[in-house]
């Protein structure tokens, strides 16, 4: 009798817009942190550094905030869809007013979330 390995399915990471290129421009330590958090998400887990993004109605949209060399960097992703982790936006926060993401970035995240939903729906349609 063969032993059956307990293989956990790993979600793909799908990069929306320029998010992958934007991540590549960040300092190495920040890229590593974001990569580690995304790896957790691929496994169906939530890393302690990932927090729900305010204003998006729950835990399906998460952000990683990393401070490095007197700058703050953010990566926003969603786990709302079963097939993949969609990275919506990666950026350096430049606003000096509070911790909230600038309106321009919030609008971009909303636009990219709609794009992720469209891609997810197209993927679902092609597998049925």
Q: pLDDT tens-digit profile of 50-104? A: 999 988 877 799 999 999 999 999 999 999 998 899 999 999 987 666 666 678 8
Measured at the CA of 35, the angle between CA 83 and CA 12, to 5 degrees, comes to 15
109 and 37 Cβ atoms separated by less than 8 Å: no
Measured at the CA of 58, the angle between CA 38 and CA 104, to 5 degrees, comes to 75
What pLDDT was estimated at residue 100?
A: 66
Tell whether the model's pLDDT for residue 127 goes beyond 70. no
Other C-beta atoms closer than 10 Å to the C-beta of 92 total 14
pLDDT band at 108 (very low <50, low <70, confident <90, very high): very high
Q: What pTM did the predictor assign?
A: 0.86
What pLDDT was estimated at residue 82?
A: 85
34 and 23 Cβ atoms separated by less than 8 Å: yes
Helix (H) or strand (E) holding 36: helix 28-42
34 and 66 Cβ atoms separated by less than 8 Å: yes
């Amino acid at each position: 009798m063969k032993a059956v390995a307990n293989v956990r399915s790993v979600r793909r990471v799908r990069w929306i817009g320029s998010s992958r290129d934007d991540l590549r421009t960040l300092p190495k330590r920040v890229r590593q942190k974001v990569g580690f958090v995304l790896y957790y998400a691929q496994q169906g887990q939530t890393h302690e550094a990932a927090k729900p993004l305010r204003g998006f109605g729950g835990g399906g949209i998460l952000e990683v905030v990393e401070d490095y060399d007197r700058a703050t960097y953010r990566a926003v992703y969603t786990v709302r869809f079963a097939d993949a982790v969609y990275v919506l936006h990666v950026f350096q926060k430049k606003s000096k007013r509070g911790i909230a993401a600038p309106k321009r970035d919030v609008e971009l995240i909303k636009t990219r979330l709609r794009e992720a939903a469209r891609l997810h729906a197209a993927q679902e349609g092609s597998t049925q």
